[in-house]
Homo-oligomer: A and B are copies of this chain.
Amino acid sequence: MHDEPNDHFVRAGAFSIEEREAVYRAIHTRRDVRDQFLPDPLPEDVIARMLAAAHAAPSVGFMQPWNFLLIRDAARREAAWRIFSKANDEAAEMFSNERRDSYRKLKLEGIRKAPLGICVTCDPTRGGAVVLGRTHNLRMDSYSTVCAIQNFWLAARVEGVGVGWVSIFHQHDMRALLGIPEHVEVMGWFCVGYVDRLYDQPELALKGWLQRLPLEQLIFEEVWGKVSGDPDI
């Protein structure tokens, strides 16, 4: 029998209340973990489920531009930490005096503490010269990769695994450490390890760096700046 797209429709209604709550619990309790990692190694099946979740992300033109480099070697993680550390010193200098002191007190990564590092990359050449859906926004490839990252992060949460996104490094330093080709974008270094406790709010809020914005101020009706209840314009 000929295989038609219409043969591939499946029912897709709302989840049960219990299932819905599970998904919202993952979304609302996920944290960016910097310090609470336990040393226990991650079983292969757990890593496999988290990466399969990442790979199930949407991608522009189905280009699937992502790669995942798994770094367990302590010396290599130490080298990645030095790359972070150099950039972090530069970062601190960018803040004004008072803010700089607060910045320096924050722990921003768990590269050495987390037993697994994952470097996630985006290869902009994977889809060929013209990629469906990326014709008017060349960044759609990296946006697809972030969808994979967020899937991975939520999968980690349900597995009892914490994830922290490290973005403070120079691309060329991380490429050199890991042999990543020049044309490939390094999306981040992800610290990955079991956790048994998480903050009940974002760490930067708890530590007084910035507070959560009221969601209702971020939602507009029909046009920019018109909030619910404003007269029609």
Contacts and interface: CB of A to CB of B under 8 A. Distances in A.
Contact of A218 (B68, B71, B155): B68
Contacts of A112: none
A165 B67 CA distance: 22
Given A87-B136, A178-B224, A196-B13, A56 B27 contact: yes
Given A57-B150, A70-B221, A218-B55, A87 B135 contact: yes
A1 interface: no
Contacts of A225: 179
Interface string A50-74: 0111011110111110111111110
A55 B135 contact: no
B76 A222 contact: yes
A90 interface: yes
A225 to B, nearest CB: 7
Copies of this chain in its oligomeric complex: 2
A177 to B, nearest CB: 8
Contact of A135 (B71, B90, B180): B90
Interface in A1-35: 5, 8-15, 18-20, 22-32
Main secondary structure of the interface of A (DSSP, over half): mixed
Contacts of A198: 9-10, 12
B28 A56 contact: yes
Interface residues of A, number: 118
A21 B178 CA distance: 34
Nearest to A177: B223
A106 B14 CA distance: 27
Contacts of A121: 224
Interface of A: 5, 8-15, 18-20, 22-32, 49, 51-53, 55-58, 60-64, 66-73, 76, 87, 90-91, 94-95, 99, 103, 106, 108, 121, 127, 130, 132-137, 139-140, 142-143, 146-147, 149-151, 153-155, 157-160, 162, 165, 167-171, 178-181, 184, 187, 195-207, 209-210, 212-213, 215, 218-225
